Structure 1
Amino acid sequence: MRTSISIPSTPSSTARAKLPRVFSGASPAAPRWPNIRKPGDDWGNIFGIMSYLVLARKYRPRTFADVVGQDHVVKTLANALDSQRLHHAYLFTGTRGVGKTTLARILAACFNCETGVTSTPCGVCSACRGIADGNFMDLLEVDAASRTGVDDTRDMLTSAEFLPAQGRHKVFLIDEVHMLTGHSFNALLKTLEEPPEHVKFLLATTEAKKIPVTVLSRCLQFNLKNMRPEVIESQLDKILTTEGIAAEASALPVIARAARGSMRDALSITDQAIAHGAGAIATESVNDMLGIAGRDEVGVLLDALAARDGERLLAAGDELCDRSLDLGGILEDLQRAFHDLAVAVELGTSVQPPFERFGRAFSAEDLQLYYQIALLGSRDLEFAPDPKIGFDMTLIRLASFEPATSDHDIQPPKESRDSEPPKAREQASEQQAAPAEAVPGKPDEVDGDWHEIVAQVTPEAGVNAMILGHSNLLRRSEDHWTVRVDREHQSLLNDKRCEEIGSALSGYAGQTLRIDFEVGELSVESPAARRARLESQAREEAKAVLMDDANVRTLLSEFDGRLESAELLADQESPSTDTAASASDTGNAP
């Protein structure tokens, strides 16, 4: 028995009500179904969903001409392609986001472009579009981080024996190739050395040192460089201009430095900055987003450092910490500022804003010291019990090592940026060291033994003892003394040290003294040199006494030994200072 059922061409109203309304705009009478997806279609557009292509993908280079910052690699590859000198294995190394995979895909397009093997693929043929869209059958991208086993490698090599399905060459792009196991590398060696004519291997890695040398020797290796901030900044400016997005000029260098040589990171940060700034990029917004200090905040630290105000320096550091800024980044910004100032001081060039007001605030020696302190503080920050503690200790070290007086007076920074540089004062302060040429002959002898005075006013080791230990007392009147310090130790002199030494000498004299300091060559023996001479004499005398001992001579003779050194014990009395001084000292005694 045959039964026939008739179905109306138009569903009834009851049936229409039961139809699913999945798609926006669907009519109960005629539900709208999407068309079959064609290659290149975007599912988001088909379903009416807004889709956004991130800048790093939207502006990924499609030709060698679009690649920036890697001219040394592009030039080599282009010349090899134009001369048809094609290798079978290429290795691209470098940090993340510098263009390793991008260059590999461009090279794959050069191999398979329908116009022929060329350094300028057309970009419109099916092979070029397929490679750009990621659906080209003869470009097999392998993530070595997830397919590390030897079985995966053998399957890949088995497929290499088959001819290409679409293009001229079958290209294997192995990303993070250093993640392959040792057995996988061994399985790859033979095919990598003598692959079929239609096969090309493109390898990419961030850890070239982890790849066996047997693999490296079979590849042409291209080391991609970290991009300079200027290159990244220029590329960002072009992209933002194309996108029609407003950006402050001072914000782009901040993004370029934060990217640390990676163009992909720079574009990702730019995407984030656009979202953070509601469609625009402002410097303050970028600093807040990245948690870094602006140049003005760094200027506050430099102001306090130039003014020798440790309390204000720590207070400024506390304010930056309260804002939860990146403390390591702040120390790096200080390093950049010290570098720029040091270059300006050394070459005599102008300082770039906003630090031009510090052009005369620091000497070249001080900047070298400050840079080293900031560098070591940044390095040791991770070892501190707390980042705040490490940051504070770095600022304390910066404040403790006060700048040395130099051949010209150093003025504190001016608040106004357009004011003229400060002029040196006509007369040096009484407590500040001034350079002086060595006085020929013997200086004026003064009353009292300078060596004895130094020993009494600086009984303990310290910076003041070091300064006076390398000095001479040139002249002395009732209330006015002149002290000369050798040039090698002039960096230790500053207003605070001079004041402390003046107070100590005044206490020794029992009255207030005016102490003038000069810097020059010492014409007579300093207390430190005298002390070293006496210690050397004591050691030689002790050695002579030891060699005269019969037991020591017997020991050396029996074992064919020799006496290399002799040291005085701490509780052993050294030769009398007064006796040694009277025998060999021609110092500053009257």
Structure 2
Amino acid sequence: QLQLLSQQASAETIQLLYQIALHGKRDLPYAADPKSGFDMTLLRMLSFQPKQVDTRNDITPPISRTQDNTSQTTAIDNPPTATEQKTQYSEPELVKIIEPPQIAEPRLTVPVEISSVNNDPNIKLNASSWLEIIASLKLTAFARQLADNSSFIKFEADKVSLFISPELAHLASEKAQDRLESALGKYLALTIKLVFEQDDQLQSNPTLAGEQVQQAKISQQQAADSIHNDPAVDAIKHAFNARIIESTIKPIA
């Protein structure tokens, strides 16, 4: 009976069914129940068919010895010429390389510090010109603070007498004095010596820092007056019951 069944299916089909049965038996414990596992195995057997492979091979007809001998004889009788044996290689064409134009290297420019020099011979060092002169000097931080907070007393011979308030006396360090002295001497084209005096009566003498503070106050007051006197601002205040925060008013530089 098995032999009769085997004649009704190809060997490939029997092998495929056998493999599906083995896989089904292996996966049976993972199925929800034995019946569903068995049904799935049967569905696989019905769904898959072995791939039909064309077993016919292209058979190349044998070549007779006569043809081989003839081919060999022909090949010997007609040896390849030297031109055929040796591949002709043409000389590579030379490509002209164009060098890029030479670009001149830029000259290095070394920044030169510009010293403040008095170009106007009519300007003399005195109480009225002191603030203008020190404002034009190029000074470093500490020397600048010393100059801005110093007031002019007198200029006699080579000595420039200055005053600085006692609470700012720490600004008159030796290094700051040397730099201010050097810059002022270059401006005047003279060799000078700075002398700082302490006299309470000189407190009212103007300094550049004091003038800057006073000018800042004037600018601030002008900005506040401009805001308060602006009709548009006044209309907004009345419409929204708003008020102006004075600290937010800043003068336009």
Q: Which has the larger radius of gyration?
A: 2
Q: Which has the higher contact order (CA 8 A, sep 6+)?
A: 2
